Every structure is written in structure tokens, then in C-alpha cells.
């Protein structure tokens, strides 16, 4: 909580409520809003020339794909979470022995849309992300790693937008 109050990172939750389809006619996407989860630092969701990088993560019993995500310190990213089966959780824990919970959201079941977690972490380190909703016999295997790299000197944090697949592996 102290870390949170110091405003060393920023966490927002965007709920993407679905896409309207009528047969093959795409009527548009419904995006009903963004909820601030309670940090102090203002979040800038990317300017026109620096949109936040999107990282797509699939959850399935009992793994995340990718299971390792790499971002830069201070970089604006959006983690798009989707499930291939049941509802899972997505919780990010602080680096090292820090047990602070940085994010904790529910991923909807398959076919019920995705959830987007905008994220900006200032402190470099290795963070753990994991399923926080009991999803079956192998629930505790469902873990991954979020690596926050030191920002290079002179970097503004965002830089030129990069391809979606850059910066992480499975």
C-alpha cells in the first residue's frame, strides 16, 4: 500500500464489454468506460504518436500464453486478457519478496469478451503474474513472469510503437 501511495506505478482497468455483430455485419465495438483502480499518478493512455503497446495474453487451464512478458520501466502498455475456457484471474505481485498486489482482475470465460489492463510500472524488476481464481486441479501451475526493464538513458518511456509480438516470449 505504501508503494501505491508513493505513486511509483499506475494501474487502470478498462472493461471491454463486447463487440456487436449481426450476422456478418459488424455494427461496432461497445466500450463502456475505464475504471481507475486507485493509484495516484495520472495515466496518459498514449498520445496519437505514442499509443500504449498492446500485449495479448491467452489464459487456458493451466497456463498463460505468453508466460513471460517484458516491458520497459515507465512504458504504457495495455494487457489484453482472454480465456480459452473457464474464467481465470490475473494477479500481478510485486517483485522479489515484495508481496504487494499490483493488479488483480477476473478474465471472462471463453466467448464472453476480453479484459484490458492498462499498466505502467516505474520500478524495474521481475514481477510474478498468476491466476487468482481457482480454475482446476493444476491451478497453482498457472503462473508467469513480468520483467520490467531499466529504461535506457534519454528514453521517454514509450518510444516508437513496437510490433505486438516484440518483447515477450511464451
Partner 1 sequence: MKLLLRLAILAIYAGICAPHEALAQPAQPPAPASSEAATGRTGPFSGYMDFHFNKEEGRDGVLDFHRFVLLFNHSFTTRIRFVGELELEHAFVEGLEEAGELELEQAYVDFLISRPFNVRAGMMLVPLGIINERHEPPVFNGVERPFVDTVIIPTTWFEAGAGIHGEIGRGLRYRAFAMAPLDAIEFSAEEGIRGGVQKGAEANVRNFAFTGRAEYIGIPDLTVGAGFWTGDSSFSVRRIDTKVHVGEVDARYQRGRLELRGQFAHVGIGDAGRLNDAIERLVGISPNIARSLRGFYGEAAYRVWDAGSPRDLVAFVRYENFDTQHRMPDGFLPLKEFDRDAWVGGLTYYPDPDVAVKIDYVHVRNQSGIVRAPRGVNIGLGWWF
- Of 4, 77, 93, 121, the residue at the interface with partner 1 (CB under 8 A) is 93
- Of 2, 5, 163, 170, the residue at the interface with partner 1 (CB under 8 A) is 170
Q: How far is the CB of 10 from partner 1 (least distance, A)?
A: 14
- Of 17, 41, 56, 123, the residue at the interface with partner 1 (CB under 8 A) is 17
Question: Do 33 and 139 contact (CB within 8 A), yes or no?
Answer: no
Interface residues for partner 1 in 127-146 (CB under 8 A)?
Answer: 128, 131-141, 143-145
- Of 41, 50, 67, 125, the residue at the interface with partner 1 (CB under 8 A) is 67
Q: How far is the CB of 117 from partner 1 (least distance, A)?
A: 11
Instruction: Return the closest-CA partner of residue 146 out of 162, 169, 165, 118.
Output: 169
Phi and psi of 27, rounded to 5°? -90, -5
Does position 30 interact with partner 1 (CB under 8 A)? The reply is: yes
Kindly compute the dihedral angle of the four CA atoms of residues 42, 106, 19, 45, in this order, to the nearest 10 degrees.
10
Q: Cβ atoms within 10 A of the Cβ of 76, count? A: 21
DSSP assignments along 7-35, one per residue: T-EEEEEEE--EEEEETTEEEEEE---EE
**Interacting residues toward partner 1 by CB under 8 A:** 13, 15, 17-18, 20-21, 30, 32-33, 35, 37-38, 61-63, 65, 67-68, 83-91, 93, 99, 101, 104-107, 109-113, 126, 128, 131-141, 143-145, 169-170
Amino acid at each position: 500500500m505504501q508503494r501505491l501511495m508513493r505513486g511509483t506505478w499506475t494501474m487502470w482497468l478498462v472493461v471491454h464489454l463486447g463487440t456487436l455483430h449481426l450476422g456478418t455485419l459488424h455494427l461496432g465495438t461497445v466500450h463502456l468506460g475505464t475504471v481507475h483502480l486507485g493509484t495516484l499518478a495520472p495515466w496518459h493512455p498514449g498520445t496519437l504518436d505514442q499509443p500504449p503497446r498492446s500485449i495479448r495474453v491467452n489464459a487456458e487451464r493451466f497456463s498463460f500464453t505468453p508466460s513471460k512478458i517484458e516491458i520497459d520501466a515507465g512504458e504504457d502498455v495495455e494487457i489484453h486478457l482472454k480465456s480459452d475456457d473457464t474464467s481465470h484471474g490475473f494477479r500481478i505481485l510485486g517483485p522479489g519478496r515484495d508481496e504487494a498486489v499490483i493488479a488483480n482482475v477476473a478474465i471472462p470465460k471463453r466467448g464472453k469478451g476480453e479484459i484490458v489492463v492498462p499498466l505502467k510500472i516505474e520500478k524495474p524488476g521481475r514481477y510474478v503474474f498468476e491466476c487468482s481464481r481457482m480454475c482446476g486441479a493444476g491451478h497453482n501451475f498457472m503462473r508467469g513472469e513480468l520483467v520490467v526493464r531499466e529504461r535506457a538513458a534519454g528514453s521517454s518511456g514509450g518510444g516508437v510503437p513496437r510490433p505486438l509480438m516484440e518483447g515477450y516470449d511464451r
